[in-house]
Amino acid sequence: QKEVEQDPGPLSVPEGAIVSLNCTYSNSAFQYFMWYRQYSRKGPELLMYTYSSGNKEDGRFTAQVDKSSKYISLFIRDSQPSDSATYLCAMNTNAGKSTFGDGTTLTVKP
């Protein structure tokens, strides 16, 4: 079984919708939780990171971590066509390497 499982998608929503992207994990040693965004034909870029359980907000994006349930989410409010991309969750311990989810491809239709 994979250490990190991500809701596979693809996801297609109308512009302005609220989007929820989710991952679960099995390794209790994971301490840092990240979301990367990957546009077509590009490398992934870090979007947000969190350390502890709770919520972290950055503009239209909110990252949520529930360590007790080993569950993380990324919420996108007022989604825009420019948000269309593949979103990858990633997690790491202090060991300097990350474990990535398989990615969820999001399309926001105008």
Partner 1 sequence: DADVTQTPRNRITKTGKRIMLECSQTKGHDRMYWYRQDPGLGLRLIYYSFDVKDINKGEISDGYSVSRQAQAKFSLSLESAIPNQTALYFCATALAGGRGYNEQFFGPGTRLTVL
For partner 1, the binding residues in 33-92 under the rule CB under 8 A are 33-34, 41-46, 49, 51, 88, 92
Give the HSE-up count for residue 13: Cα atoms under 13 Å, Cβ half-sphere.
Answer: 22
| Least distance in angstroms from the C-beta of 110 to partner 1 | 26
Is the torsion defined by CA of 13, 17, 56, 45 positive or negative? positive
| Least distance in angstroms from the C-beta of 62 to partner 1 | 17
Q: Are 98 and 49 in contact (CB under 8 A)?
A: no
Question: Judged by CB under 8 A, does residue 21 bind partner 1?
Answer: no
| Least distance in angstroms from the C-beta of 16 to partner 1 | 29
Residues 6+ apart with CB under 8 A from 80: 15, 108
Residues at the site binding partner 1, with contacts judged by CB under 8 A: 6, 8, 31-34, 41-46, 49, 51, 88, 92, 94, 96-98, 100-103
